[in-house]
Amino acid sequence: MALVNQAKREIHAKIVFFGPGQAGKGTSLRHIFNKLKPEFRGAMKVMSVQGARMLFFDFTPPGDGNVDGFRVRFHLYTVSGPVVDPAAWKMVLKGADGIVVVADSSPHRLDENRAAMDELVSYLKGYGQGLSTVPAVLHLNKNDLADALPVAELERQLNPSRLLAFSTSGHSGQGVLQGVMALVKNILTGLRAKGADGIASGETLQHMVEGTAAPAALAAQAPAESFAEVTTPAAAPAEASEAVLELSEAADEAPLSLEIAATPVVAEGDQIRVPLTIRCGSREKTVVLTLSLGLSEE
C-alpha cells in the first residue's frame, strides 16, 4: 500500500520479487542494481531474516515518475535462500504495491514453481488481496538455459491469472529490466488514478515498507537507461511520546498494545526507523521510532 510523505512531497511504493528458492530473485535484483551508474546509487545492504537474506533498494523514476507533484519512490525487496520461512514472506509482502513473480524455467522445478504460486495467492489472501488486485508480472527466469521449458508451456502451467510474462535471465539480464519497468508503469497508472489525496495516510509512515522484524536496507537507484535515483528519504513524523500521551486518556478502558507496523528501514548513516502502531481499545496511533546504532570492537 503506497504511502504519502507530505513533508518530503514523496509517495512510497513497494515492489516484491517473489518465487521459489534459488529461482534467481536475488540475482535479478543485483542485476538491476549493477546496471545503475555509481553516482545514482548507494551501497547495497543485506540482512539475515529468519535464516534467509533480505535485500532491497529504492529508486525514483525520472520525468514522468510524479503523481500530482509528488515524487514516487519505489522500494524493491526480495528474500533469497534455498528455503524461506513463510513468516518472512508474509511480512515482506505486507503492503506490496506490485509483485514480480520469479519462476525457474527448469523442468525439474515445475512443481516448486506451482507451489510458490499457490503460496503467494495464500499470503495475499491473508491481506484481503490477490493477483487480480495487486499489479504483478511473471519472470520466466533462466529461460536461456538449454533445458528450459518453452515459454508457452510455462505460461500454461504457471500463469492462470494471465500476468504479463517476460522471458528472463537474471545472470545476463535478459528481460529483467523490461519486466520491472512494465510493472512500475502499471503501478504509476494506478497511483495517478487515485491521486495523491486518494493514497493511504502516509503522514507517519513515509518509508512505507513491509512488516517484518529485522529488514535490510539498500540505498540505490534504478537502471541507468530509464531510472534516476535521489537522496535518502526523510525522518519520521510523530514522536512516540506524543502518541502515548494522546492515548493515555483511554488507558483505563483497555490495555495498551504495541506492534511493528512495517519493516524497519535503514536510513541515513547508522539510523534505523521502526514504524510502530500503538493501540488502546478502539483508538490507535502510528509513530516511527528512530534508533541510532553504533558498532564497536571488543
Q: What is the mean pLDDT of residues 10-29?
A: 94
Residue where the block lists cell 523442468? 107
* Among 41-55, 76-90, 259-273, the least confident range: 259-273
pTM here? 0.69
Residue 134 has pLDDT above 90, yes or no: yes
For 273, other C-beta atoms within 10 Å of its C-beta total 24
Q: What is the pLDDT of residue 271?
A: 67
- 3-198 is classed CATH 3.40.50.300: yes
Q: What is the mean pLDDT of residues 186-213?
A: 62
Sequence ranges of the domains in the chain: 3-198, 240-292
Q: What is the mean pLDDT of residues 219-238?
A: 35
Terminus-to-terminus CA distance in the chain, angstroms?
Answer: 42
> 276 - beta bridge partners?
260, 287
- Per-residue pLDDT tens digits for 78-91: 998 888 889 999 98
Q: What is the pLDDT of residue 292?
A: 67
HSE of 63, CA atoms in CB hemisphere, 13 A: 5
* Among 13-17, 55-59, 128-132, 185-189, the least confident range: 55-59
Q: What is the mean pLDDT of residues 25-46?
A: 78
